[in-house]
Amino acid sequence: MTYLLALDQGTSSSRSIVFGRDGRIRAMAQREFRQIYPRPGWVEHDPMEIWQTQLATAREALAQAGLGAQDIAAIGITNQRETTLLWERASGRPIANAVVWQDRRTEPLCARWRERGLADAVRDATGLVIDPYFSASKIAWLLEHVPGARAQAERGELAFGTVDSWLLWQLTGGRVHATDTTNASRTMLFDIDRGAWSDALLAALDIPRPLLPAVQPSASHFGDCEPALLGRTVPVCGIAGDQQAALFGQAGFRAGLAKNTYGTGCFLLMHTGAQRQASTHGLITTAAAQVGPQRQYALEGSVFIGGAVVQWLRDGLHAIRGSGEVQALAESVPDAGGVVVVPAFTGLGAPYWQPQATGAIVGLTRGSTAAHIARAALESIAFQSAALLDAMSRDAIAAGGQAVSELRVDGGACVNDLLMQFQADLLGIPVVRPQVIETTALGAAYLAGLGCSVYAGPDELAAQWQVERRFLPTLPRERAAERMSRWERAVRQAVAA
Q: What is the pLDDT of residues 235-272, one digit of tens each?
A: 999 999 999 999 999 998 888 889 999 888 888 999 98
Q: What is the pLDDT of residue 225?
A: 96
For 328-376, the pLDDT digits (tens) are 888 899 988 999 999 888 788 778 878 778 888 998 999 999 899 999 9
Contact present, 87 and 163 (Cβ < 8 Å): no
273: pLDDT strictly greater than 70: yes
Pairing of strands 284-287, 266-273: unpaired
pLDDT tens across 376-432, in order? Answer: 998 999 999 998 888 888 888 887 777 788 899 998 888 889 889 989 999 999 999
Q: Is the pLDDT of residue 323 over 90?
A: no
Q: Is the predicted pLDDT of residue 445 greater than 80, yes or no?
A: yes
| Residue from 378, 292, 373, 384 nearest 346 by CA | 384
CA–CA distance, 390 with 302 (Å, rounded to integer): 13
Q: How far is CA 15 from the centre of its chain?
A: 15
pLDDT, residue 436, reads: 87
Looking at residue 497, what is its pLDDT? 65
Q: 77 has which bridge partners?
A: 7, 239
- For the segment 156-162, the average pLDDT, to the nearest whole number, is 97
CA distance 87 to 47: 9
Superfamily classification of domain 3-243: ATPase, nucleotide binding domain (3.30.420.40)
State how far the Cα of 1 lies from the Cα of 5, in Å rounded to an integer.
13
- pLDDT tens, residue by residue, 194-217: 999 999 999 999 999 999 999 999
Taken as a whole, the chain contains a residue count of 497
Percentages helix, strand, coil for the chain (3-state, rounded to 5) are 40, 25, 40
DSSP annotation string for 349-365: -TTT-BTT---EEE---
The more confidently predicted of residues 280 and 113 is 113
The H or E element spanning position 302 is strand 297-303
Proportion of the chain above pLDDT 70, given as a percent: 100
- The model's pLDDT over 65-102, given as tens digits with 9 standing for 90+, comes to 999 999 999 999 999 999 999 999 999 999 999 999 98
Is the separation of the CB atoms in 215 and 181 below 8 Å?
yes
Cβ atoms of residues 5 and 18 within 8 Å? yes
- The model's pTM is 0.87
pLDDT on residue 46: 97
pLDDT for residue 437 is more than 70: yes
- On the question of pLDDT at 56 being above 60, the answer is yes
Instruction: Please report which helix (H) or strand (E) contains residue 407, including its range.
Output: strand 407-410
Characterize the bridge pairing of strands 431-434 and 467-471.
Answer: antiparallel
Kindly report the number of other CB atoms within 10 A of residue 135's CB atom: 26
340 φ/ψ angles, rounded to the nearest 5 degrees: -130, 125
Nearest Cα neighbor of 422 from 462, 459, 389, 381 is: 381
Is the pLDDT at 1 greater than 70? The verdict is no
pLDDT at 12 over 90: no
Q: What pLDDT does 146 receive?
A: 96
Mean of the per-residue pLDDT values for the chain? 91
- The helix/strand count (H/E) of the chain reads as 17, 23
For the chain, domain boundaries: 3-243
What are the pLDDT digits (tens) for 246-256? 999 999 888 88
Cα separation, 145 vs 129, in Å, equals: 24
